[in-house]
Chains A and B, each alone.
Chain A
Amino acid sequence: MNCEEFDHFLDPYLDRELDPGKLSQLEQHLSDCPVCRSLVQECLDFRSFFRSNAPVYTAPPRLRANVLATVRRERLKSELAISRRPRIYAAAVLFFGLAALTIFLPGNAKELSGQAVARYTQSLTTNHLVDIASSDQQVLGPWFATKLNFTPPLADLRAPGYPLLGGRADVLQNRPVATLVYQHRNSIVTLFCWPPNNGLLAKGNHFIKGCDVYTWGNAACNYIVVSKLDKHETDAFVDSLRARGESGSY
């Protein structure tokens, strides 16, 4: 192998992409040729400089929230499209009817959301955010168990920036619900939840009287989140709840 041939294989050699036969030819040439050895060293130095100094960018937090929000919207759209297909819808009603379950229709979720927003606003205007001020699960758990006969999922969201201020026992549509009050900067995020004994709450995202409202239900609980945060911050809150696992998935 001469220097010109060596030059042709220089990049695959440095990238370790040569087959063993070619590699041994190159190494033989390298051991004989100081000029090519020096070229290899120069290339290695530049690569090392490049790796240490090439720009590396990190995604802004807002982008993560945007990507998640878009996917969530698309998912809701698809699910709504499916639920509107008459045959599937009829089959679903029949199935759940047989199972003696009641599925809340989106209209009912919206009505519940309206009441949740009213409670959210009332708690702010009357400055009565919580019945019990604590973020301690050992305190809140027994308190809710006594008041409501159930313990809501108690997620500590201090780390992602939503410290738990405390809890409240509320009523939505004549149904006792556990209310958990979180703070984000100077704003309040309220999570209403109750066991899905009478059916799962429909998934949805509403904007009611200036509040962003998310509703969903799973085997553990029905949930309504009300906040006046920016949309991406509410999304981040819902994601944090999800990530905690205790609150099921959105």
Chain B
Amino acid sequence: MRQNQLLFEELLLPHLDGAYNLARWLVGTDQDAQAVVREAYNQAWAELGEFRGTDARAWLLTIVRNRAGTWMRAHSKHSRTIQFEEASNVVLSRKPSLKPSPEERKRELHQALSRLPFEFREILALRDIEGWSYGQLASALSLPSDTVISRLSEARLRLRQEMTEVQRRGSEGVRE
């Protein structure tokens, strides 16, 4: 048991920031993300004996991803989109002719991300933030590799479309 705790602290605790970051991407708010991470670590502790791999981070993040999915199903019945806190309630208003400042573009990106469906945020976070290979994605998400490719392409396309939409709304002063 003590050895398990040592394993847990050495293998899994160093990835707390990564786990929390992924949870924030998937469920949105700090409070919900903390709840998901706590649940994930509890599960990881309970199943530590089953961990046979070498990539503890991937193992932990897969648990976080599963927990976040369950959390979203349980807590947001109508929508699986989220609000990134710093992006919420900010109307990005500017004249269409003006080029957005870097700060505006960053906010636009966050708003666009928050408008994506869960599955798209998930695959973007795992591939473009965590750097998972297509093989890892296929295994963790239980998807055929062709579907990994198409979902990733679709997620990136949709993100750019949402950015355009956010920019359009900003230039028209439309509030959500």
Q: Once the chains bind, are A74 and B149 in contact (CB under 8 Å)?
A: no
Contact of A55 among B9, B42, B84, B160 (CB under 8 A): B84
Q: Once the chains bind, are A55 and B25 in contact (CB under 8 Å)?
A: yes
Contacting chain A: which of B13-21, B69-77, B90-98, B168-176? Answer: B13-21
Question: A23 CB to closest chain B CB, in angstroms?
Answer: 14
Contacting chain B: which of A8-16, A100-108, A143-151? Answer: A8-16
B residues less than 8 Å from A246 (CB atoms): none
Task: Check: B65 CB closer than 8 A to any chain A CB.
Answer: no
Task: Check: A68 CB closer than 8 A to any chain B CB.
Answer: yes
Interface bits A2-42 vs B (CB < 8 Å: 1, else 0): 00000000111001010000000000000000000000000
Q: Once the chains bind, are B19 and A49 in contact (CB under 8 Å)?
A: no
Which residues, 22 to 41 on B, are CB-close (under 8 Å) to A?
24-25, 30, 33-34, 37-38, 41
B residues less than 8 Å from A75 (CB atoms): 1-2, 4-5
CB within 8 Å: A-B pair count? 92
Q: Once the chains bind, are A11 and B153 in contact (CB under 8 Å)?
A: yes
Task: Check: A159 CB closer than 8 A to any chain B CB.
Answer: no
- Distance, CA A54 to CA B106, complexed state (A): 8
A residues less than 8 Å from B34 (CB atoms): 60, 63, 66
Contact of B21 among A53, A56, A72 (CB under 8 A): A56
B residues less than 8 Å from A68 (CB atoms): 9, 13
Q: Once the chains bind, are A50 and B134 in contact (CB under 8 Å)?
A: no
Q: Once the chains bind, are A50 and B109 in contact (CB under 8 Å)?
A: yes
Question: B30 CB to closest chain A CB, in angstroms?
Answer: 7
A11/B152 contact (C-beta < 8 A), A50-B109, A63-B37, A249-B2 known: yes
Task: Check: A158 CB closer than 8 A to any chain B CB.
Answer: no
B residues less than 8 Å from A12 (CB atoms): 134, 149
Q: Once the chains bind, are B105 and A57 in contact (CB under 8 Å)?
A: no
Q: Once the chains bind, are A56 and B5 in contact (CB under 8 Å)?
A: no
B residues less than 8 Å from A58 (CB atoms): 17, 20-21
The closest CB in chain A to the CB of B127 belongs to A15
Question: B60 CB to closest chain A CB, in angstroms?
Answer: 11
The closest CB in chain B to the CB of A79 belongs to B1
- Distance, CA A50 to CA B105, complexed state (A): 10
B residues less than 8 Å from A60 (CB atoms): 20, 30, 34
Q: Once the chains bind, are B160 and A249 in contact (CB under 8 Å)?
A: no
- Distance, CA A15 to CA B123, complexed state (A): 13
Task: Check: A122 CB closer than 8 A to any chain B CB.
Answer: no
Task: Check: B86 CB closer than 8 A to any chain A CB.
Answer: yes
- Distance, CA A57 to CA B24, complexed state (A): 7
**What secondary structure prevails in chain A residues at the interface with B?**
helix
Contact of B16 among A56, A63, A72 (CB under 8 A): A63
Q: Once the chains bind, are B20 and A59 in contact (CB under 8 Å)?
A: yes
A residues less than 8 Å from B84 (CB atoms): 55
- Distance, CA A59 to CA B134, complexed state (A): 27
Which residues, 114 to 153 on B, are CB-close (under 8 Å) to A?
127-129, 133-134, 149, 152-153
Task: Check: A85 CB closer than 8 A to any chain B CB.
Answer: no
A67/B109 contact (C-beta < 8 A), A11-B152, A78-B1, A249-B6 known: no
A57/B41 contact (C-beta < 8 A), A12-B149, A64-B13, A67-B16 known: no
- Distance, CA A49 to CA B159, complexed state (A): 13
A50/B128 contact (C-beta < 8 A), A56-B21, A57-B21, A67-B41 known: yes
Instruction: Give B contacts to A, CB under 8 Å.
Output: 1-2, 4-6, 8-9, 13, 16-17, 19-21, 24-25, 30, 33-34, 37-38, 41-42, 45-46, 84, 86, 102, 105-106, 109-110, 113, 127-129, 133-134, 149, 152-153, 156, 159-160
A-B contact pairs, 19 of them (CB 8 A): A15-B152, A49-B105, A50-B109, A53-B102, A53-B109, A54-B113, A55-B84, A55-B110, A56-B21, A67-B16, A67-B37, A67-B38, A67-B41, A68-B9, A71-B8, A71-B41, A72-B5, A75-B2, A249-B6
